[in-house]
């Protein structure tokens, strides 16, 4: 193995709980301003919709969750609990969101952070225009998994890292664009005139 390959592999071992996804779709994207969910602390958050066909990302997430369980052993009383006894972050959109077409044939992970993610374009330039990253956009996202044990709830949570916008997508959430709202046969007559 070359030194470059050794260094790359060593880099992967440094943080086995971190994943950089393939192309996912952002939903419930609160990536510009933190928001309180259910009265909790304000956080930046996003739901990552991952196609079931993206076995590479899904496999990496499963390995990272396993690593987070191992690393979180101290939070679980020094023992590794079965996955069935834990709340896990990777969820099936067909089961948990059956009425939401955007989640069909996909898994999803909800990620959050108390600090703002860096948001870049495909050339790694910062995205400054907030209208460029929204619910429905396609992106790659860095996420990190970690164990929690709080108030009787035990499991693995997902931390939000950074976001790389890949391409635009149909906005989610039912909000129409101004262009869609005002395409009409309006002739300029004002009934108040």
Residue 9 has pLDDT above 50, yes or no: no
Express each pLDDT in 13-49 by its tens digit: 579 999 999 999 999 999 999 999 888 899 999 999 9
153-167 and 119-120 beta bridge pairing: parallel
Burial grade of 63 (CB within 10 A; 0-12, 13-18, 19 or more): middle
Question: Does residue 11 or residue 65 have the better pLDDT?
Answer: 65
How many residues belong to the chain?
Answer: 193
Please give the average per-residue pLDDT across 102-111, as a whole number: 97
Q: What is the pLDDT of residue 5?
A: 43
Average pLDDT over the chain reads: 88
The two structure tokens encoding residue 31: 């990536």
Side-chain half-sphere of 97: how many Cα atoms within 13 Å? 18
User: In angstroms, what is the C-alpha Rg of the chain?
Assistant: 20
Out of 8-12, 47-51, 141-145, 184-188, which region has the weakest mean confidence (pLDDT)?
8-12
pTM: 0.82
Q: Between 1 and 110, whose confidence is greater?
A: 110
Rounded to whole angstroms, what are the CA distances from 19 to 62, 82, 121, 130, 184? 10, 22, 19, 25, 46
In Å, the largest CA–CA distance within the chain is 80
**What domains, with CATH codes, occur in the chain?**
15-170 (2.40.50.140)
pLDDT at 189 over 70: no
Mean pLDDT computed over 180-192: 58
Q: Pairing state of beta strands 18-20 and 153-167?
A: unpaired
> For the ranges 6-10, 87-91, 110-114, which has the lowest average pLDDT?
6-10
pLDDT value of residue 176: 56
Task: Tell me which residue has tokens 């990253």.
Answer: 133
pLDDT tens digits for range 128-179: 999 999 999 999 999 999 999 988 889 999 999 999 999 999 999 765 556 6
């Amino acid at each position: 193995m070359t030194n470059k390959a050794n260094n790359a592999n060593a880099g992967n071992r440094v943080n086995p709980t971190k994943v950089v996804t393939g192309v996912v779709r952002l939903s419930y994207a609160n990536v510009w301003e933190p928001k309180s969910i259910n009265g909790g602390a304000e956080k930046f958050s996003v739901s990552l919709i991952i196609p079931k066909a993206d076995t590479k990302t899904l496999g990496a997430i499963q390995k990272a969750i396993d690593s987070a369980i191992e690393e979180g052993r101290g939070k679980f009383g020094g023992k590794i609990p079965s996955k069935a006894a834990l709340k896990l972050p990777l969820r099936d959109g067909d089961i948990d969101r059956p009425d939401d077409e955007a989640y069909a044939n996909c898994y999803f992970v909800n990620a959050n952070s108390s600090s703002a993610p860096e948001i870049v374009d495909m050339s790694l330039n910062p995205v400054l225009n907030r209208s460029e990253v929204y619910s429905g956009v396609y992106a790659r996202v860095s996420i990190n998994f970690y164990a929690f044990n709080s108030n009787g709830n035990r499991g693995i949570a997902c931390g939000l890292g950074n976001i790389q916008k890949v391409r635009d997508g149909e906005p989610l959430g039912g909000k129409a664009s101004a262009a869609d709202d005002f395409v009409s046969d309006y002739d300029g007559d004002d009934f108040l005139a």
